[in-house]
Amino acid sequence: MKIATWNINSVRLRINNVVRFLEVEQPDVLCLQETKAQDHDFPITALHAAGYTHTIFSGEKSYNGVALISRVPLKNVQKNEFAGKQDKRHISAELPGGAVLHNFYVPAGGDIPDRNQNEKFGHKLDFVDGMRGWFGKHASKKAPMILVGDLNIAPLEHDVWSHKQLLDVVSHTPIEVEKLTSLQEHLGWVDASRHFVPHSEKLYSWWSYRNQDWKKSDRGRRLDHIWVTEPLQKGLSKSTILKEMRDWEQPSDHVPVVLEIAV
DNA sequence: ATGGTTGGTTACCAA
């Protein structure tokens, strides 16, 4: 099975890019974040026409929003809330074969990495804690699960262009990394992208719009992740980050992360 | 140290 995750930064603006991606890459399931569309505005017709008839979504006006765009049947759809807000940051479903796929959009967290000065940072920390609490209550290490999404945290030294310069920049601060690592270790999640790329190698999935030439400056971060639980580890076969899509016309600032896996 | 760009909505907020 081929699973992809992509922060699309408005699914309506970029629906043609989504369809082009589906045609070129042929994923079984594409997980989107930041769809920024209410459910009645979701551009479902183009996706059905492309063969992705099992498409589910959870959106709100202007902000957030997640979707599973699938050409295989999905069962037991869930939309959960974390950190005490009714925002649309999670959707999950069971894949053929029984593995459960969770798609998350973790809050970005604002600019100041201090929850006393910036409640958005507090919300982000609470959200990641909430994820850990949820999996502690509802899941086990033995369950075959795939967790994907824009986690808005780049945990490893070479997940950012400069470890030193980003230590106090939201997305790479020690407290965020600690919470994400705690979530990861709790159920023994395997980082599928890093499974195929040494930790010493730079690996990014996001480049800011605020650079004259994103490729030349290459100030990227790996904010988008695909994790699997241990029962699925032996099935991992290939993982890619489609960096070249950052050069597509009117691109998202994120590019897709893709995994091929036996489930 | 600062500002740089984009999207949704339509005054700025969020990323």
Parts of chain A with a pLDDT under 50: none
By three-state DSSP, how is residue A226 classified?
strand
* Distance from C-alpha of A125 to C-alpha of A249, rounded to nearest angstrom: 34
- Residue A62 CA, nucleotide B12 C1', distance (Å): 13
| pTM for the structure as a whole | 0.98
Q: Which CATH number fits domain A2-261: 3.60.10.10, 3.40.190.10, 1.10.260.30, 3.30.450.80?
A: 3.60.10.10
- Residue A204 CA, nucleotide B9 C1', distance (Å): 31
**Given the structure tokens 């470890």, which residue do they identify?**
A163
Q: What is the pLDDT of residue A17?
A: 98
* Distance from C-alpha of A73 to C-alpha of A260, rounded to nearest angstrom: 18
| Residues 198-257, chain A, CB closer than 7 Å to nucleic strand B | 209-210, 250
Domain residue spans of chain A? 2-261
Q: What is the pLDDT of residue A22?
A: 98
| Residues 141-160, chain A, CB closer than 7 Å to nucleic strand B | none
Q: What is the pLDDT of residue A215?
A: 97
Q: What is the pLDDT of residue A31?
A: 98
Q: What is the pLDDT of residue A53?
A: 98
Q: Which nucleotides of B are covered by protein (CB under 7 A)?
A: 3-9, 14-15
* Distance from C-alpha of A166 to C-alpha of A36, rounded to nearest angstrom: 28
